[in-house]
């Protein structure tokens, strides 16, 4: 049996996993910083597009991950932004 003091946080304590998207992208006025929390990368990208319609049109460096934004997801976020914009145009 494991020691209870090491089992303080269990998977069942986290009601909904959350994804963090953090970084910057180039905009009309220079660089715009983004920080979003959502259920997934797609959720965060959709939130970014609501506030920044030009997100995904220019150079960007964004990190993402569950609980900690520790992976470079720039290419995935850019592709997803393009896909979401195309989805909205149809």
The pLDDT of residue 29 is 85
Domain ranges of the chain: 15-89
The pLDDT of residue 18 is 86
pLDDT tens-digit map of 34-61: 999 998 999 999 999 999 889 989 899 9
In the 3-class helix/strand/coil scheme, how is the chain assigned residue by residue? Answer: CCCHHHCCCCHHHCCCCCEEEEEEEEECCEEEEEEEEECCHHHHHHHHHHHCCCCCCCCEEEEEEECCCCEECHHHHHHHHHHHHHHHHC
Is it the case that residue 76 has pLDDT exceeding 50?
A: yes
- pLDDT: is 75 or 16 the higher one? 75
- pLDDT: is 33 or 10 the higher one? 33
The pLDDT of residue 4 is 52
């Amino acid at each position: 049996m494991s020691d209870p003091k090491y089992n303080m946080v269990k998977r069942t304590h986290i009601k909904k996993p959350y994804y963090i998207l953090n970084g910057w992208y180039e905009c009309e006025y220079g660089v715009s910083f983004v920080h979003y929390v959502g259920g997934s990368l797609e959720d965060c990208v959709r939130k970014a597009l609501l506030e920044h319609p030009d997100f995904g049109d220019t150079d960007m460096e964004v990190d993402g991950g569950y609980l900690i934004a520790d992976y470079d997801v720039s290419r995935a976020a850019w592709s997803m932004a393009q896909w979401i914009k195309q989805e909205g145009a149809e």
